[in-house]
C-alpha cells in the first residue's frame, strides 16, 4: 500500500501527470470518425514503440520514475474493462524482439537507434484477419548535446516506411500514434486514405500509454492544439536553409518570421503547411458566437460564447490573433495575442470566455531607426482581430483598433545588436541588407556597500531582525565573496550540485535539481519521482491552470527531498524541428512559451521552491552548443527569442534565470551585460539572481561584471581574486552579485 505521507511520485501526482497527458495530445486527423474506436473493436498494435514507448527525452529532461505505462499497457486495461480486444501475437513479437536486443546489449530506443523490426508477413495477415483496426506507434527519442537527424528521425526510416506500407495494405483501418518530442514529417499520412486517424501523443510521461488508450477508446476526448506548424517538408521551414553549414554560427536570416509568422505571411507559405499552428481536432464540435470586442484605456477585450454542438463532452481552445498594418517595419500577417480554454462542456452546454490584450503589446521593435531607433512602435493604421480555433480557422471581428499616427510606446536603448548578420527576411519573403557594424559591448559599474556589519559573529539568520542584507554582505571577506559566486558539491540527493553557501556566516548551500519533465534524481537513490509529459505537450494543452498545477506538484517533490531550486522551465523557441532539446521547450511562438512558463513558475514558487528559467537566450539548436553563436537581429531577439522570457519575468517573477551555453552576436550570454543587466534587469525589472548553465568555462570576471551572479557548477575564485588584485574587478561587483544571491536564499522555504 502506498505510504500516504510520501508525496514524491504519489498517486495524486501520477494522476495529474495522466490528466496533463490527456489535455496536450493533439488529434491531427480523424477520417470516417474512426476514432473513438467502437466498443468491442479488435485492435492490433504495431511498432516497437507500442511496447518501448518513449516517456520523454534524455539529459536534463529525463526522470527516474517507478514505472512507464506503454501503449500496450493502456490497451490491456481497456481489454480488461471489456472495451476492446488486443491481438496478443503482435505483443509477443515485439516483446521478444526487445528482450533479444537487450540480451545482445543493443539499445532499443535512443539517439541514432533507427531499427524497426518488421513482423513476418504471416503475422500481419493473421492480425488483419483477426482484428479490424491497426494502431501503429512511431516513437522518437532525443537528448541535449545533439540535434535530430532528418532520415529516420524527422522522416520515417526505411524500415518504418515498410511497416506503414505493409500494415496499411493489410488493414482497412489504421490509426497512427506519434510518440515524439518534436515536429516530424506529416506528409506521408496527411492525404493517405489508408491512415484514417493520427494522434500526436508527444512524449507524455509515465502515464502516456494509458492516456493514449483513453483517447483512442473514447474514455477521454482530445483537446490539445498545436503549438508548432507542421509543414509539408523540412525544407519549408525557413530556418532549414544552411542550418548546419557553419559549426560556429547560426545566422537567423528568417528574423521574426518563425513558425506561423512565416507560413501565414510570406507569399506561398500557406500552401506549405499540412497542419497549422493552433490546430487540433476533437470528437465533438464547437461553435463560437456572440463575439463582442472593445477597447478601454488601451486594453482590448473580447467576450464570446463557446457552445459544444456535438455529441461528446469536450474542451475547446479559443485563440485571438491580431493583424497589424504592414507599415514601414513590416509585420507577420497574424500574431497570437490571447487564448483561453473552456472547462469540459457537455453537449449543448456553453461557456462565456473573456480574452484581453494591451494595445501596446501589438507594437513592433524598430532596431534600425526606420521610424524611431530602438523603440517599440505602434505603427499608424488599422489593427484587426481574428478569433477562432487555429491560426487558419478564424473569423474576423468587426472591431478594429485604429492608430492615427505612429506611436512610440516604449523608448529603449540598442542592446545586443548584431555585427555580422548580412541580411534578414521581410514580410514578402525577400531579404533586406543589414548595416555591418563593429560590436561594442561594455560593462557598467556597481556601487560599493557603504555600511559595515554592526554585530560580531553575524549569521544569515540575523538578517531581517538584527541586520540588513547590506550589513551582512559587508561581513564577507573579499575571498569569501569570490568563493560564494560559484557552485559547491551535492548535498542529500541532489545531482546537479549546489549554489554555494558560507559556513562561517551561517549560509547553507542551496541544492538544485533538473528539469522540465520532473524532478530528476539519480536512480541509485531509489526515489522514483513523477515523470510529467514533455514541455511541448504541456503547451499543447493551452491550459495555464493545469500547467501551474503541474509546476506546484513537481516543486512539492523537490521540497520533500530537500531540494531548493528546480532547473525549469526551459523556454527556448522551436526555431527548427531538428533541435535536440525541442521536447524540453514549449513552442515556436513566444507568447505561448511565455504564458506557459509563467504558469509553471507560479506553481513552482507557490511551494517556496525557486525555479531557474532557462536557457537565456537564443539556445535553439544543440550544434556546437558551447561555441555556437546565434547571429540574430535585435528585433528578432526582442520580438521572438527574448519575448517568452520577458512575459515570464513580468508575470511570474522567477527567482533565478539560467543563461545559455551559446553566444548571441559574438558574446557569451553569461558575459553579456546588455542581456543580463541591460535588458533583463534594466528593462524588465528582474529582481532575482542569474546563474550560468552548468560546466562552461567562459570568462568568470566578465560574467560577474555582466551581472551573472552564480557560476555553475563550479566557480573560479582564484581568477576573480586575481582580477580584484589587478583592479579589473571591484569588490562592489562581487557585492552586487552576493546581494542578489542572498535575496533569493531569503525567499527559499
Ligand atoms: C543543461 C541544463 C541543465 C544542467 C544541469 C546542462 O547541461 O543545459 O539545462 O539544467 O545541465 O543538469
State the DSSP string of 222-249: -----SS-EESSGGGSGGGTTTTT-TTE
The alpha carbon of 291 is separated from its chain's Cα centroid by a whole number of angstroms, namely 31
Cα(506) to ligand 1 centroid in Å equals 28
Q: Which set of grid coordinates corresponds to residue 453?
A: 556589519
- CB-ligand 1 contact for 265 (6 Å cutoff): no
CB 569 within 8 A of CB 601: yes
Give me the catalytic one of 62, 629, 693, 733: 693
β-sheet with 375-378: strand ranges across: 364-366, 375-378, 407-411
- CB-ligand 1 contact for 144 (6 Å cutoff): yes
Please report the DSSP string for 545-567 in residue order: HHHHHHHHHHHHHHHHTT--EEE
> What average pLDDT does the segment 333-355 reach?
98
Of residues 146, 160, 139, 137, the one with CA closest to residue 58: 146
The alpha carbon of 287 is separated from its chain's Cα centroid by a whole number of angstroms, namely 30
- CB-ligand 1 contact for 496 (6 Å cutoff): yes
d(CA 141, CA 184): 12
d(CA 72, CA 210): 9
Give the pLDDT confidence of 84-109 residue by residue, as tens digits: 999 999 999 999 999 999 999 999 99
What 3-state class would DSSP assign to 179?
strand
Query: In percent, how much of the chain has pLDDT > 70?
Result: 99
Cα(314) to ligand 1 centroid in Å equals 38
- CB-ligand 1 contact for 622 (6 Å cutoff): no
Cα(490) to ligand 1 centroid in Å equals 15
CB 496 within 8 A of CB 612: no
Could you give the dihedral angle defined by the CA atoms of residues 632, 633, 634 and 638, in that order, rounded to the nearest 10 degrees?
-70
Q: At what angle do helices 544-560 and 590-605 cross, to 10 degrees?
A: 40
Which residue among 490, 514, 581 has the greatest number of ligand 1 atoms within 8 angstroms of its CB, and so is best to mutate? 514
Residue 660 CA, closest ligand 1 atom number: 8
Residue position matching grid coordinates 537567423: 252
CB 220 within 8 A of CB 285: no
The alpha carbon of 223 is separated from its chain's Cα centroid by a whole number of angstroms, namely 19
Can you say whether the dihedral through the CA atoms of 88, 91, 93, 96 is positive or negative? negative
Residue 512 CA, closest ligand 1 atom number: 5
- CB-ligand 1 contact for 581 (6 Å cutoff): no
Q: What is the CA radius of gyration of the chain?
A: 26
Mean pLDDT (the chain) is 97
Cα(658) to ligand 1 centroid in Å equals 9
d(CA 23, CA 260): 22
Q: Is 693 among the catalytic positions?
A: yes
Give the pLDDT confidence of 448-464 residue by residue, as tens digits: 999 999 999 999 999 99
Which residue among 56, 57, 58, 60 has the greatest number of ligand 1 atoms within 8 angstroms of its CB, and so is best to mutate? 60
Provide the 10 A C-beta neighbour count for residue 170: 18
> What average pLDDT does the segment 238-256 reach?
94
What pLDDT, on the 0 to 100 scale, is given for residue 1?
43
Q: At what angle do helices 121-130 and 88-103 cross, to 10 degrees?
A: 150
Cα(40) to ligand 1 centroid in Å equals 47
Give the pLDDT confidence of 593-628 residue by residue, as tens digits: 999 999 999 999 999 999 999 999 999 999 999 999
Give the pLDDT confidence of 470-487 residue by residue, as tens digits: 999 999 999 999 999 999
The alpha carbon of 170 is separated from its chain's Cα centroid by a whole number of angstroms, namely 39
Residue 520 CA, closest ligand 1 atom number: 12
- DSSP class of 149: P
Residue 615 CA, closest ligand 1 atom number: 9
Where does the pLDDT of residue 3 fall: very low under 50, low under 70, confident under 90, or very high at 90 and above? low
Could you give the dihedral angle defined by the CA atoms of residues 451, 457, 459 and 463, in that order, rounded to the nearest 10 degrees?
-30
Give the residue, by CA position, lying nearest to ligand 1 atom 6: 694
What pLDDT, on the 0 to 100 scale, is given for residue 441?
80
- CB-ligand 1 contact for 60 (6 Å cutoff): yes
Residue position matching grid coordinates 523537490: 558
Task: For the full predicted model, state whether its pTM sits above 0.95.
Answer: yes
What pLDDT, on the 0 to 100 scale, is given for residue 4?
64
Q: At what angle do helices 717-726 and 731-747 cross, to 10 degrees?
A: 140
Residue 495 CA, closest ligand 1 atom number: 12
- CB-ligand 1 contact for 693 (6 Å cutoff): yes
- CB-ligand 1 contact for 567 (6 Å cutoff): yes
**Element housing 166 (H / E):** helix 158-170
What pLDDT, on the 0 to 100 scale, is given for residue 341?
98
Provide the 10 A C-beta neighbour count for residue 435: 10
Residue 567 CA, closest ligand 1 atom number: 10
CB 724 within 8 A of CB 733: no
CB under 8 Å to 259, separation ≥6 — which residues?
228, 229, 277, 574, 587, 588, 589
Residue position matching grid coordinates 520523454: 56
- CB-ligand 1 contact for 614 (6 Å cutoff): yes
Give the pLDDT confidence of 383-420 residue by residue, as tens digits: 999 999 999 999 999 999 999 999 999 999 999 999 89
Give the residue, by CA position, lying nearest to ligand 1 atom 3: 60
Cα(661) to ligand 1 centroid in Å equals 10
Residue position matching grid coordinates 468491442: 40
Query: In percent, how much of the chain has pLDDT > 90?
Result: 97
For the cut 70, the answer to whether the pLDDT of residue 524 exceeds it is yes
Give the residue, by CA position, lying nearest to ligand 1 atom 9: 60
Cα(465) to ligand 1 centroid in Å equals 37
Give the pLDDT confidence of 169-216 residue by residue, as tens digits: 999 999 999 999 999 999 999 999 999 999 999 999 999 999 999 999
What pLDDT, on the 0 to 100 scale, is given for residue 575?
98
Q: Which set of grid coordinates corresponds to residue 77?
A: 486495461
CB 22 within 8 A of CB 211: yes
Cα(120) to ligand 1 centroid in Å equals 43
Cα(214) to ligand 1 centroid in Å equals 34
Amino acid at each position: 500500500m502506498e505510504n500516504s505521507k510520501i508525496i514524491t511520485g504519489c498517486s495524486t501526482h501520477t494522476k495529474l501527470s495522466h490528466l496533463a497527458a490527456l489535455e496536450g495530445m493533439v488529434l491531427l486527423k480523424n477520417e470516417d470518425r474512426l476514432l473513438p474506436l467502437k466498443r468491442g473493436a479488435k485492435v492490433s498494435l504495431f511498432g516497437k514503440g507500442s511496447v518501448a514507448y518513449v516517456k520523454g527525452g534524455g539529459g536534463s529532461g529525463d526522470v527516474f520514475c517507478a514505472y512507464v505505462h506503454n501503449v500496450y499497457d493502456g490497451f490491456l486495461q481497456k481489454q480488461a474493462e471489456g472495451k476492446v480486444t488486443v491481438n496478443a501475437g503482435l505483443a509477443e513479437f515485439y516483446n521478444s524482439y526487445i528482450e533479444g536486443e537487450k540480451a545482445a546489449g543493443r539499445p532499443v530506443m535512443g539517439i541514432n537507434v533507427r531499427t524497426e523490426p518488421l513482423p513476418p508477413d504471416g503475422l500481419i495477415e493473421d492480425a488483419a484477419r483477426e482484428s479490424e483496426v491497426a494502431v501503429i506507434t512511431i516513437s522518437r527519442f532525443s537528448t541535449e548535446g545533439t540535434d535530430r537527424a532528418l532520415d529516420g528521425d524527422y522522416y520515417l526510416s526505411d524500415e518504418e516506411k515498410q511497416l506503414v506500407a505493409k500494415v496499411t495494405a493489410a488493414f482497412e483501418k489504421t490509426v497512427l500514434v506519434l510518440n515524439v518530442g518534436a515536429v516530424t514529417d506529416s506528409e506521408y499520412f496527411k492525404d493517405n486514405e489508408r491512415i484514417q486517424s493520427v494522434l500526436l501523443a508527444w512524449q507524455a510521461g509515465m502515464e502516456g500509454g494509458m492516456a493514449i488508450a483513453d483517447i483512442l477508446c473514447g474514455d477521454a476526448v482530445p483537446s490539445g492544439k498545436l503549438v508548432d506548424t507542421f509543414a509539408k517538408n523540412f525544407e519549408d521551414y525557413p530556418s532549414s536553409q544552411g542550418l548546419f553549414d557553419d559549426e560556429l554560427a547560426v545566422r537567423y536570416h528568417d528574423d521574426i518570421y518563425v513558425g506561423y509568422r512565416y507560413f501565414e505571411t510570406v507569399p506561398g507559405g500557406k500552401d506549405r503547411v499540412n497542419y497549422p499552428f493552433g490546430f487540433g481536432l476533437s470528437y465533438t464540435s464547437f461553435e463560437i458566437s456572440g463575439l463582442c470586442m472593445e477597447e478601454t484605456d488601451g486594453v482590448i477585450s473580447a467576450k464570446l460564447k463557446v457552445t459544444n454542438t456535438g455529441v461528446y463532452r469536450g474542451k475547446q481552445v479559443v485563440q485571438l490573433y491580431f493583424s497589424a498594418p504592414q507599415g514601414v517595419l513590416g509585420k507577420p500577417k497574424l500574431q497570437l495575442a490571447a487564448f483561453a480554454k473552456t472547462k469540459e462542456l457537455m453537449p449543448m452546454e456553453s461557456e462565456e470566455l473573456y480574452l484581453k490584450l494591451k494595445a501596446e503589446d501589438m507594437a513592433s521593435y524598430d532596431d534600425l531607426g526606420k521610424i524611431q531607433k530602438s523603440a517599440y512602435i505602434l505603427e499608424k493604421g488599422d489593427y484587426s482581430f481574428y478569433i477562432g480555433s487555429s491560426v487558419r480557422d478564424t473569423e474576423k471581428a468587426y472591431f478594429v483598433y485604429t492608430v492615427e499616427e505612429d506611436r512610440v510606446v516604449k523608448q529603449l536603448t540598442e542592446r545586443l545588436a548584431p555585427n555580422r548578420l548580412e541580411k534578414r527576411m521581410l514580410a514578402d519573403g525577400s531579404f533586406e541588407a543589414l548595416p555591418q557594424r563593429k560590436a561594442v559591448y561594455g560593462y557598467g559599474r556597481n556601487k560599493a556597500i557603504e555600511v559595515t556589519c554592526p554585530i560580531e559573529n553575524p549569521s544569515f539568520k540575523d538578517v531581517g531582525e538584527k541586520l540588513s542584507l547590506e550589513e551582512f554582505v559587508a561581513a564577507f571577506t573579499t575571498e569569501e565573496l569570490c568563493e560564494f559566486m560559484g557552485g559547491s558539491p551535492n548535498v542529500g540527493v541532489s545531482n546537479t550540485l549546489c549554489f554555494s553557501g558560507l559556513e562561517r556566516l551561517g549560509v547553507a548551500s542551496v541544492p538544485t535539481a533538473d528539469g522540465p519533465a520532473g524532478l530528476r534524481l539519480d536512480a541509485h537513490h531509489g526515489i522514483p519521482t513523477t515523470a510529467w509529459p514533455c514541455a511541448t505537450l504541456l503547451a499543447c494543452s493551452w491550459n495555464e491552470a493545469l500547467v501551474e498545477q503541474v509546476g506546484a506538484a513537481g516543486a512539492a517533490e523537490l521540497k520533500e527531498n530537500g531540494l531548493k531550486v528546480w532547473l525549469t522551465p526551459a523556454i527556448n523557441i522551436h526555431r527548427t524541428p531538428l533541435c535536440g532539446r525541442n521536447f524540453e521547450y514549449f513552442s515556436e511562438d513566444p507568447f505561448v512559451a511565455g504564458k506557459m512558463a509563467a504558469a509553471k513558475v507560479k506553481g513552482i514558487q507557490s511551494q517556496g521552491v525557486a525555479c531557474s528559467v532557462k536557457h537565456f537566450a537564443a539556445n535553439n539548436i544543440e550544434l556546437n552548443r558551447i561555441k555556437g553563436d546565434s547571429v540574430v537581429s535585435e528585433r528578432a531577439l526582442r520580438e521572438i527569442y527574448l519575448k517568452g522570457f520577458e512575459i515570464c519575468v513580468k508575470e511570474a517573477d522567477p527567482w533565478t534565470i539560467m543563461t545559455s551555453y551559446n553566444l548571441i552576436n559574438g558574446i557569451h550570454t553569461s558575459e553579456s551585460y546588455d542581456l543580463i543587466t541591460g535588458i533583463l534587469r534594466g528593462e524588465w525589472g528582474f529582481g532575482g539572481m542569474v546563474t550560468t548553465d552548468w560546466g562552461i568555462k567562459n570568462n568568470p570576471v566578465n560574467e560577474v561584471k555582466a551581472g551573472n551572479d552564480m557560476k555553475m557548477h563550479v566557480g573560479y575564485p582564484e581568477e576573480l581574486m586575481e582580477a580584484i588584485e589587478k583592479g579589473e574587478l571591484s569588490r562592489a561587483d562581487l557585492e552586487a552579485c552576493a546581494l542578489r544571491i542572498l535575496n533569493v536564499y531569503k525567499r527559499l522555504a
